[in-house]
Amino acid sequence: MRLIGKSRFLTIVLTGILLISILAGCAKKETENKNNSGAQETTVQEESVTIRVGSLKGPTSMGLVHLMDLNDSAETENSYEFTMETDASSLLPLLIKGDLDIALIPANLAATLYQKMDGELKVLDINTGSVLYLLSGNSKISKISDLKGKTIYLPGKGTTPDYVLSYLLKANGLTEKDVTVEYKSEATEVAAALSQDKEACGLLPQPFATSACIQDPDLGVRIDIGEEWKSVEKDSSVVTGVTVVRSAFLKSHPQAVSTFLKEQEASAEYANTETESAAELVVKYGILAKAAIAQKAMPLCSITYIDGKEMKTALSGYLTVLYDMQPESVGGKLPGDDFYYEAE
């Protein structure tokens, strides 16, 4: 038998130990890679979230119907739960309590809510421009000055129609003492009052203005409020609806919010380009009862998507006009720059 020298024996032993260490290190690295991969998968799963979206029964929801339909068919990138209300005051508590993540609400209420939530709210985009029209059975009414001595019905006190009317009366040399303002709880009540009093006027948003005129042929659109605003206020326009998000949700789910904005923009474009099919969806989701009315009203609903610097310029200009007239209309003071969201 051939004996192995001591030095050679030590070499073999050390080589074996080194080989075992290398193999053990590889196994450990593979395990760590698997663990890291699992952690990444967990992170992706944590980012996935169902976004709770609130909107109003009107143009803001009409711009969302295509997104609602795709969501019901599981064809959206995000998952959504939609809540629709007839009154914005029903949505505000849900946002404050964290029961909604995103909401489409009147512009001035967004500014007010920003103050109530200590700045923990951001506006993502403008979703609706001017949708207000003055209706009457009196065909002689064609301008704001013609309203002197008239009764004007409004859908709610402290709402966008209320503030816009006050501004336009003042800009045209009138005061609220020159007219009789009567408030109704909702748009359908204004339409009913106009049917009973043909000489009176009513300020209604679309699509309710179109619906009222179709149901009562004696009524007609006498004044386009958006055009009247432009005639006296060159540097701003009426901003009816904006989309807001809770700051905490945006911070936790930035990618989900970014995806929502992309899908919201596509839905708004669908409402403006595919009006016939969009009108059917408006009926499907209970916004209006008849597709014919929805299709006729859709082009007048100012459904849009404006974000970034353009959004900030338009919205801040509108809010400044309201603030200068009635500070309480925007929560007592103007929102700070952190109110306006700009994607990085």
pLDDT tens across 293-330, in order?
999 999 999 999 999 999 999 999 999 999 999 999 99
- Give the chain's domains with CATH numbers: 48-129+239-339 (3.40.190.10), 132-232 (3.40.190.10)
Q: Is it the case that residue 275 has pLDDT exceeding 80?
A: yes
Q: Is it the case that residue 248 has pLDDT exceeding 60?
A: yes
Q: Is it the case that residue 80 has pLDDT exceeding 80?
A: yes
3-state secondary structure of 31: helix
Q: Is it the case that residue 259 has pLDDT exceeding 70?
A: yes
- The tens digit of pLDDT for each residue in 155-204 reads 988 888 999 999 999 999 998 899 999 999 889 999 999 999 999 999 99
Phi, psi of 31 (to 5 degrees): -65, -40
3-state secondary structure of 289: coil
- The tens digit of pLDDT for each residue in 118-148 reads 999 999 999 999 999 999 999 999 999 999 9
Residues 166/160, Cβ–Cβ less than 8 Å: no
Q: What percent of the chain has pLDDT over 70?
A: 86
Q: Is it the case that residue 274 has pLDDT exceeding 90?
A: yes
Output the six-digit token pair for 300: 């007048």
More confident residue, 25 or 3: 25
What is the C-alpha separation between 312 and 126, in angstroms, rounded? 9
Q: Is it the case that residue 34 has pLDDT exceeding 60?
A: no
Q: Is it the case that residue 12 has pLDDT exceeding 60?
A: no
- pTM for the full predicted model: 0.84
pLDDT of residue 158: 86
What is the C-alpha separation between 331 and 11, in angstroms, rounded? 83
More confident residue, 87 or 243: 243
Q: Is it the case that residue 84 has pLDDT exceeding 80?
A: yes
- The confidence band for 56, taking pLDDT boundaries of 50, 70 and 90, is very high
CA nearest neighbour of 119 among 339, 343, 322, 273: 339
What is the C-alpha separation between 303 and 128, in angstroms, rounded? 5
- The confidence band for 25, taking pLDDT boundaries of 50, 70 and 90, is low
pLDDT of residue 343: 78
Q: What percent of the chain has pLDDT over 90?
A: 80
pLDDT of residue 5: 52
pLDDT of residue 309: 96
pLDDT of residue 235: 82
- The confidence band for 14, taking pLDDT boundaries of 50, 70 and 90, is very low
Output the six-digit token pair for 227: 């055009």
pLDDT of residue 176: 83
What is the C-alpha separation between 123 and 243, in angstroms, rounded? 6
Tell me the pLDDT of the chain averaged across its residues: 89
- Residue 182 neighbours by CB distance under 10 Å: 14
pLDDT of residue 53: 99
pLDDT of residue 125: 98
pLDDT of residue 48: 82
pLDDT of residue 2: 43
